[in-house]
Chain A
């Protein structure tokens, strides 16, 4: 059974929501990424979304844009990110890792080369932000053939017809974008999120994660009540940006632990 399925099955049995932190690979320096991933797991992360830096991250707000720029300044490439997953897997064979990024680095590497490499290093899911299901047929088929989940976004603007279509294409989990905006935006409306999650639920048995705009214990706890997974990105990445490098291995897990406790206290 896949790591993602095992993970979500266990959480479902425990009636807990998954906590999925996002960090950008290679931010602030490449050597910190794998230790940070282990730190996230120790602090209670169930799945890790690892951002693949891209020069033109059009769906991201300023916080993750700057993280990408820092990682690229370190020369972080898609191959480097795959190597980081490989290193992470030396010590951790259970926590699912999902790569999140944009299509062009994958396109330039070649779909086949990428998917084979991703499988061999132990990647569990791939979320390509600028690849809607309509254009994803080839990549999705390859990913599935190599036991990697193609993960898709659903947005507040997604029509019921598209939700149905996306649910058919997706595997692993669905990523509901909680607001119209870029990553790291403010103002999460939990009531409308709950409504949309209920709507999506009618079309799929896959876990439904919610991301964009979750920035503290309170919003994480609220979203955990109405969904299967809480995805936290910009809030973490902002810490990476503002805290001193030698403190990150303490600060980041501490923040994740607080989120976890807040979610579990329900």
Chain B
């Protein structure tokens, strides 16, 4: 989530490489797309340059690269003298210069602030009111300039009026994390891209630029005005928690510890970012569905294209994260449950990617409905085990995966596909999926110039919905709709809408809304879409229902099918039947809204896997 939200969309964080001492390094930096270079005019610095060197460096630069001169408590005459000989674009003051000291050269300037404890960044910004930007640097007593230590990011206020440049301790490994956490105007690196003091390294500069251009992978901070949920035992109010057999308590505790650790581990986050970018293909596009919007005659509809991810759905965001975690925890075998097969395919895919043994549990009924995905999983080297117990669908697959995990806890990591299950799964899966909402936030600002009015997502277990909603929970003027599967109609009882019709109970490790009989037996569900065919829902959704932040509605099989055809014909995008539920609800409300309203729908998956279902319903044999 953007920390420096000046109501100015920042589509790209700019990069400055400071302490350049050789013309060649400046040229390499420029070729890599660096926005600015810094020249140090402070004789005590190991990166100090002479006037002559500075001239050579600037001469070597192509146009449109800003040159910044760095000074520390320099005499005005010294600075005037440099300015007379070196064509600097902007001055950067690193010492105890007063606002007047900075102003007197008739040049735009940046003021650096060393981040001591309890430093008042807000007051500082007011004092240097005409500075072009503030550079926030790590602070070490007695050392001036870049000190190579990362400061405590929590100190930075979120409503600062000035552009912020983050400096100090940045490296190719942590830059994407800094950008993710703070969304600064620019980052400033020096020591992090050097092979020796003042000597920049081309490979490191390349890696840094790559890191800086990646989008966010994971939420490191909670949304500030909501309570920080879940609590340490995994509760969202009365929901969530840890309702599992004793054998799983220790493995879950171990997982919880590992997750908390790696959530703050920059190497892990960098690896995750890298895979999301290069393997998954993130960021996924945000697409303005102009024809469909026009057809419905109301609000402007944007689609978050999770269907364009590798494997065709949002599920891979989570499986990449969990598989990387499994790898770090030394687990060699992964298991998963699957309904529609999307999560199974996403798990089989990462298992192949990371060289792990993979077993996927799938209800025998779903195996028949989703033959293509079953074959995909087998091609990927996974073993698909048919589950014949109970209703032979997703919930029974989950039971069977739990049984497998209880039996093989030592070497096995259970990759749960949704924001349900015992703590920490609802939290962890949410964090891995929240990349959807974070990207959307940035993309819609660039595309439409502002945040949306309405978000819509389908809810089965609820991972794509929470992924989109979570970064927007704090924006209470944005209306959020979670769309459940009404199947043949809520009144028929043949549906999968626990939030709309169920009541709280305990299943699969957490307390949440469930569809169960008056005796507490879990009901069989029905939906045209196998991915929504689940009698429970993630506990955070139960919480968001009770506190009213999200409105949960339901659409029938027929309505979803209509929307499937609409989008296919009007936009050339074939949506998954799951996502078609969100589209169907949009179809109901968009025409009632003004044309300047903005709706974002999470198009959580593509519909190729569903064409047999659709064809069969229309009596067509393929």
Q: Which residues of A contact B241 (CB under 8 A)?
A: 134-135
Q: In chain B, residues 33-51, which have Cβ atoms closer than 8 Å to a Cβ of chain A? A: none
Kindly name the residue among B245, B390, B396, B399 whose own CB sees the greatest number of chain A CB atoms within 10 A: B245
User: Nearest chain-B residue to A53 (Cβ)?
Assistant: B521
Q: Which of B253, B403, B506, B514 contacts A61 (CB 8 A)?
A: B403
Complex contact A130–B245 (CB within 8 A): yes
User: Nearest chain-A residue to B503 (Cβ)?
Assistant: A108
Complex contact B250–A157 (CB within 8 A): yes
- Known A-B contacts A55-B521, A107-B505; A157 and B409 likewise in contact (beta carbons under 8 Å): yes
Q: Which of B250, B407, B521 contacts A54 (CB 8 A)?
A: B521
Stretch of A34-42, A174-182, A243-251 with 4 or more beta carbons under 8 angstroms from chain B? A174-182
Q: Which residues of A contact B246 (CB under 8 A)?
A: 132, 152-155, 157-158, 166, 177
A56 in the interface, Cβ–Cβ < 8 Å?
Answer: yes
Q: Which residues of B contact A131 (CB under 8 A)?
A: 243
- Known A-B contacts A104-B522, A108-B520, A157-B250; A57 and B399 likewise in contact (beta carbons under 8 Å): yes
Q: In chain A, residues 157-213, which have Cβ atoms closer than 8 Å to a Cβ of chain B? A: 157-159, 162, 166, 177, 180-182, 185
Q: Which of B243, B245, B390 contacts A155 (CB 8 A)?
A: B245
Q: Tell me, in angstroms, the Cα distance from A155 to B251 when the chains sit together.
A: 11
Q: Which of B398, B402, B409, B505 contacts A104 (CB 8 A)?
A: B505
- Known A-B contacts A135-B241, A152-B246, A180-B409; A58 and B403 likewise in contact (beta carbons under 8 Å): yes
Complex contact A180–B247 (CB within 8 A): yes
Complex contact A162–B250 (CB within 8 A): yes
**Cβ of A210 to closest chain B Cβ, rounded Å:** 14
- In this complex, the interface size class of chain B, counting residues with CB under 8 Å from chain A, is 35 or more
Q: In chain B, residues 480-512, which have Cβ atoms closer than 8 Å to a Cβ of chain A? A: 503-509, 511
Complex contact A157–B521 (CB within 8 A): no
B571 in the interface, Cβ–Cβ < 8 Å?
Answer: no
Q: Tell me, in angstroms, the Cα distance from A46 to B471 when the chains sit together.
A: 57
Q: Tell me, in angstroms, the Cα distance from A129 to B247 when the chains sit together.
A: 10
Q: Tell me, in angstroms, the Cα distance from A60 to B396 when the chains sit together.
A: 12
**Cβ of B388 to closest chain A Cβ, rounded Å:** 9
B100 in the interface, Cβ–Cβ < 8 Å?
Answer: no
Q: How many CB-defined contacts (below 8 Å) exist between A and B?
A: 129
Complex contact B520–A106 (CB within 8 A): yes
Q: In chain A, residues 127-154, which have Cβ atoms closer than 8 Å to a Cβ of chain B? A: 129-132, 134-135, 152-154
Q: Tell me, in angstroms, the Cα distance from A241 to B507 when the chains sit together.
A: 27
Complex contact B403–A105 (CB within 8 A): no
For A61-90 the 0/1 string (1 means CB < 8 A from B) is: 110011001001000011100000000000
For B361-405 the 0/1 string (1 means CB < 8 A from A) is: 000000000000000000000000000011000011011001100
Q: Which residues of A contact B396 (CB under 8 A)?
A: 56
**Cβ of A113 to closest chain B Cβ, rounded Å:** 12
Complex contact B242–A65 (CB within 8 A): no
- Known A-B contacts A180-B409, A182-B403; A103 and B245 likewise in contact (beta carbons under 8 Å): no
**Cβ of A77 to closest chain B Cβ, rounded Å:** 4
Q: Tell me, in angstroms, the Cα distance from A155 to B405 when the chains sit together.
A: 14
Kindly name the residue among B243, B250, B503, B516 whose own CB sees the greatest number of chain A CB atoms within 10 A: B243
B519 in the interface, Cβ–Cβ < 8 Å?
Answer: yes
Q: Which of A62, A79, A129, A155 contacts B519 (CB 8 A)?
A: A79
Q: Which residues of A contact B507 (CB under 8 A)?
A: 56, 104
Complex contact B406–A181 (CB within 8 A): yes
Q: Which residues of B contact A57 (CB under 8 A)?
A: 399
Q: Tell me, in angstroms, the Cα distance from A55 to B407 when the chains sit together.
A: 21
User: Nearest chain-B residue to A75 (Cβ)?
Assistant: B519
User: Nearest chain-A residue to B408 (Cβ)?
Assistant: A180
Complex contact A177–B247 (CB within 8 A): yes
Complex contact B390–A55 (CB within 8 A): yes
Q: In chain B, residues 588-607, which have Cβ atoms closer than 8 Å to a Cβ of chain A? A: none
Q: Which of B243, B251, B253, B520 contacts A105 (CB 8 A)?
A: B520
Complex contact B250–A56 (CB within 8 A): no
- Known A-B contacts A55-B521, A55-B522, A181-B407; A158 and B250 likewise in contact (beta carbons under 8 Å): yes
Complex contact A108–B505 (CB within 8 A): yes
Complex contact B251–A157 (CB within 8 A): yes
Kindly name the residue among B396, B521, B522 whose own CB sees the greatest number of chain A CB atoms within 10 A: B521
B255 in the interface, Cβ–Cβ < 8 Å?
Answer: no
Complex contact B519–A78 (CB within 8 A): yes
Complex contact A182–B521 (CB within 8 A): no
Residues of A within 8 A of B (CB): 54-62, 65-66, 69, 72, 77-79, 102-109, 129-132, 134-135, 152-159, 162, 166, 177, 180-182, 185
**Considering the complex of A and B, which 3 residue pairs feature the smallest CB-CB distances, nearest first?**
A105-B520, A108-B520, A155-B247
